[in-house]
Amino acid sequence: MTHSTLRIAAAQIAPVWLDRAATTAKIVEWIGRAAGEGAQLVAFGEALLPGYPFWVEHTDGARFESALQKTWFAHYVDQAVDIEAGDLRPLCAAAAEHAIWVTLGIIERDRRRGQSVFCTAVQIDDGGTVRSVHRKLMPTHEERLVWTPGDGHGLQVHDWRGWRVGALNCWENWMPLARSAMYAQGENLHVALWPGSARNTEQITPFLAREGRSVVMSVSGLLRAEELPADLPEHDRLRAALPAVMANGGSCIAGPDGQWLASPCVDREQLLLAEIDLQQVRAERQSFDPFGHYARPDVLELSVDRRRRFGAGFADGHLPD
């Protein structure tokens, strides 16, 4: 009988907000800390690299042709992650050095899509290979002013150390069909990425665990106005407009019975650690397995399109570099 245990870590940290290089260095440091605690997988919050767009809600972000909003957006795009350019290499190297799986929320810029950015969850395996890049299907509310809707390409789970690991961004975790796409692939370790608020995580995390009969990690970030880097464009206007606390964390981990393995943590940087056992997943699925013995594919069936969409097709079969 296969008996697979893991030590996992939710890294609740604050970014060096909207500074890709400095935030990358901080994430590398915390990857090392997690490995030092014996973790074999570490996860970080939504959009952590280089940061969540907190300014939009508090600075009249829907104002059309606002010079101020254009300035901040241009800076955001400049600091976004270009995977093809190698912006994830330091993180891949850290994952390989410490033999640890890394799940991370980034703001991704795809050179083929111009200057638009995606809210993306990346999975980096313990050999340093990027295994999947999942772009958030639907940005929420004011996020739509700065993020582009993604596609189904990254709705993938990964076999690793006996587990099947998947991730969704923030309110994707409320989308029944997005969750079902993960369950249908046998997911049993789910990482839910959040920008940072206990109100997002404290109720949904045990629910997701109980519904999927999976281990669920909710991983959030932190940010206080006093932590804004002084060299941000229009720093003083941002500092005056933003609330004292934009993200208070709320990271937590629930087992497949919906019980806490690590209850929500707020207001501090913290590694939340848990030992998980695949045998507990198997035991909980005795009564309910959402795409196993409790499924009715003859009545209910989900269709998922995982093609990467670019908006243009070229007769020679090649996309521009």
The amino acid at 55: W
d(Cα 220, Cα 43) in Å, to the nearest integer? Answer: 9
**Catalytic one among 26, 108, 136, 187?**
136
Q: Where are the alpha helices (DSSP H) in 17-66?
A: 20-36, 55-58
Active-site residue flag, 136: yes
Number of neighbours of residue 203 by Cβ within 10 angstroms: 11
**Terminal Cα distance for the chain, rounded:** 48
**Structure-token pair, residue 157:** 């789970």
Q: Which of 92, 119, 143, 170 is catalytic?
A: 170
Which residues lie across from 11 on neighbouring strands?
271
| CA torsion through residues 237, 25, 157, 192, sign | negative
Tokens, residue 120? 């993306």
Residue 46 designated active-site: yes
**In whole angstroms, what is the distance from residue 136 CA to residue 317 CA?**
26
Report which of 102, 54, 42, 92 is spatially closest to residue 270, judged by C-alpha positions. Answer: 42
The residue assigned the tokens 């899509």 is 113
Give the β-pairing of 158-160 and 163-169.
Answer: antiparallel
- Percent of the chain as helix, strand, coil, to the nearest 5: 30, 25, 45
Q: Are strands 189-193 and 215-219 parallel, antiparallel or unpaired?
A: parallel
Q: Are the C-beta atoms of 20 and 49 separated by less than 8 Å?
A: yes
- Is position 57 annotated as part of the catalytic site? no
**Residues annotated as catalytic (active site), given as ranges:** 46, 136, 170
